[in-house]
Structure 1
Amino acid sequence: MFGTATMGTSRDINAVAGRWADADGVAEGVRQYGADPRHGLSSAMLRDRKTVLMDRLGWDLTSPDGLHELDAYDQADTLYLIIHQRQTGRHLGSVRLLPSTGPHLLGDVFPHLCEGGVPQGPDVWEITRLVTAPGLNRAEALQVRRQLSIALFEHALAHGITRYTMVTHMPWLPSLLSIGWDAEPLGMPHGEGEAAVAALQVMVNAETLERLGQAWELPGQMLAETIHIGREGALAN
């Protein structure tokens, strides 16, 4: 899901092309393994997840301290792609990626959404916890989601991922599809009204990455850094 996105499409939002920026700096992408509330960027990401998913959307999730949102899939080796402002440590948007060959939401909780079975394999990963920071306006949030989209495709092409799967609430489906991904349903929606959910798969290829990068004026590398979060803090590679 798109975090702060609501019903409707992104096509009516006048987002600025290029990377999000303000007087304090430009948004950058980072690949991070592990999430620890004691670490600055992790704390900001998990706080925003709690604000968006629990406080605003009312999801029945877990907050161990009343400040951060964490669940059983947030492990020491879990992968996150994060758009942040390096100068201030501000979290702008993020997504959690889970391998389909291990525990993941579609396989564990939502297999009934896939008519032909849950896609699995080393080249299939699941998109979860896609949020944008609650302080962004709609145009800024779309700009950050575009950077996340580029980061997702960059990561996939560099690591042999050919498909992403995800579960989305139906009210956000138009906004999701209008981002420009080559997506297709995995089955019929389940539920009613705003509670209805569906499973999708997003096909990854270099042509889509090039097309989106040109359309959004986002050339070049988005994921410039990889961080491993350990017991003693962050170690950058």
Structure 2
Amino acid sequence: MQAIAIDANDHGGLGSLLDEMHQLRARVFAGRLGWRVKIEQGRERDEYDALDPTYILALTDRSDVAGCARLLPSTGPTTLSQAFPQLLPGGRLRGKSTRADSSRFCVDTRGERREDRFLHAATLTMFAGMIEGSMSNGFDETITALDVRFEHILQRAGWPTTRLGGVELIGETMSVAGILPADQASFDRVCPPGYRSDLRRLPRVAA
């Protein structure tokens, strides 16, 4: 399985993969999780997709999109600070040029094998891709809002979070805000067998 990065406004002819990503997000967030998200023609998008994010995608051997996540600099508008301020101490987030905001993480695990730690290959590929993609863009950590159940998955993968605040009930989900390190040691722990990428050759570096 391969991890790739695509810049939203400079996708180098890979727009079909972005379209497939938006369809995956619709299936997962609206269909499987029942989130109240905006769906148009079977695709999920929100206002943060207009902020020139970098997308990390996991591709199968058939080049189908099996997972995705969105990275934005924490110095600008972020989903964590604007959509989930109740998860932050004092409701505010201090932006750092070396910190990325991660959102819209999801994987399609249908038909995927489980690796060690009983996690799917797509999940571990996404973790490795997010770390490698973050480092390639000049980030050394990632912040995100997450379900406490997903926090346990990260722990099992060897990529534990450091909580920024307390646990809050959002809708029907017990949620937290957390910081994840983006460093070589974390990458080495989560990287699954057969992992491939070209993320270290990304041209853009965070200002």
Q: Establish whether TM, by shorter chain, passes 0.5.
A: yes
Q: Specify the alignment match of 1:102 in structure 2.
A: 76
| Preserved contact between residue 31 and residue 81 of structure 1 (Cα < 8 Å) | yes
Amino acid at match of 1:77: D
Q: Specify the alignment match of 1:22 in structure 2.
A: none
| Preserved contact between residue 31 and residue 225 of structure 1 (Cα < 8 Å) | no
| Cα offset, 1:174, TM superposition | 1.2
Q: Provide the secondary structure at the position in 2 that maps to 1:160.
A: coil
Amino acid at match of 2:126: L
Q: Which has the higher helix share?
A: 2
Q: Specify the alignment match of 1:203 in structure 2.
A: 181
**TM-score, normalised by the number of residues in structure 1:** 0.72
Change (3 A) 1:212 1:74: same
The percentage of aligned residue pairs carrying the same residue is: 22
Q: Provide the secondary structure at the position in 2 that maps to 1:101.
A: coil
| Cα offset, 1:211, TM superposition | 3.5
RCO comparison, higher one (Cα < 8 Å, 6+):
1
User: Unaligned 5+ residue runs, structure 2?
Assistant: none
Q: Specify the alignment match of 2:55 in structure 1.
A: 80
Amino acid at match of 1:53: F
Alignment counterpart, residue 23 of structure 2, candidates 47, 60, 63: 47
| Cα offset, 1:64, TM superposition | 2.1
Change (3 A) 1:112 1:168: same
Q: How many residues align?
A: 196
> What does 1:58-207 align with in structure 2 at a 5 Å threshold?
58-65=34-41, 67-75=42-50, 77-85=52-60, 88-115=62-89, 117-133=92-108, 135-137=110-112, 139=114, 142-191=120-169, 194-207=172-185
| Cα offset, 1:71, TM superposition | 0.6
* Superposition RMSD in Å: 2.8
Alpha-carbon distance in 2 for matches of 1:156, 1:148: 12
User: Unaligned 5+ residue runs, structure 1?
Assistant: 1-26, 228-237
Amino acid at match of 1:29: A
Larger mean Cα displacement after TM superposition, 131-140 or 108-117: 131-140
Decide which structure has the larger Cα Rg and report it: 1
Change (3 A) 1:182 1:126: same
| Cα offset, 1:222, TM superposition | 5.2
